[in-house]
Structure 1
């Protein structure tokens, strides 16, 4: 273990778990590499309002962004990450994210179309000994509140691929959820942005609420 990583785990022991157990907030991950981490600006605020109304969370809809190398990660039990393009984590950022996730944090990554080939190689930096595993439709995240018996819903059509949810686990705990070929974040946005029918937006918001509830309960 590097000195920096040992220091991070010391900080987690002193402050991280305390913050994660008391907080009920989501932040957007401001990653480097040139990808548009800031895409879907209305998505998470709309999801937060839906969760407050439908599943009893008490979150502020003024969403903060946080960089992967910042100690501020540990103020948030859940991070959301999206975009269309390149993703890059430095070694120090990957160490910080690893410490955050192993201390109880949760990262949801939603491919907004085009992120996949860049993301996968960066996830190896965070967990070189772990692989993405596809979640079956029977996984609790699909039924923790709203029921999705077929698994992840399809919100936007890009390459006509089936929607897939992948995870990285530590024992049985889900650390990272990666939603692919679903683009559920687009469904959280204001209705005039993508002109999704109300039923499609509702499915996206309900699946998002399941993710939030699962992450917070975990």
Structure 2
């Protein structure tokens, strides 16, 4: 078996030339080190292209996460959405007065009329989306489905089914610090499980969206 000296390989000497064998001598010099360097450079370029493609793929899959400020508040995008929503909301009492072209005092009279009361209830149940407005911070407020209207006003109807012995007006003042300006209006009723009902004063609700 023929052996090639390392010095012969480095100096581009073919086996036939080094050992004197072979039929014909091979002409021309070949730099084997240069060939190896070229192959390694080619592999590096291919690896760089693969790495770049992986980076681009990861960048496309990354989802933008809303940032929170250091004070613990919601992100700027959510704040803008909250402000936009507050601009589009209207107090329920103002909405009803505008719809029926009446004052707040006249609205109280409309609720005492059975036909007008049914029309208002129908509108509140199927044509508007209601949201509370008394909770702080504002993002704690929630959507309310109006299922009925109380027969008594907020100053007369009992909260918590009368368990505490206080009216809705007193409950909202003690629990939420809300002093009702229109306690003579009825409350919106939301049906819960079994016999549980939640009563919301009219002025504690906003119209978010017309359906």
TM range (shorter): under 0.3
Give the TM-score, by structure 2 length.
0.27
Tell which structure's C-alpha radius of gyration is larger.
2
Give the TM-score, by structure 1 length.
0.26
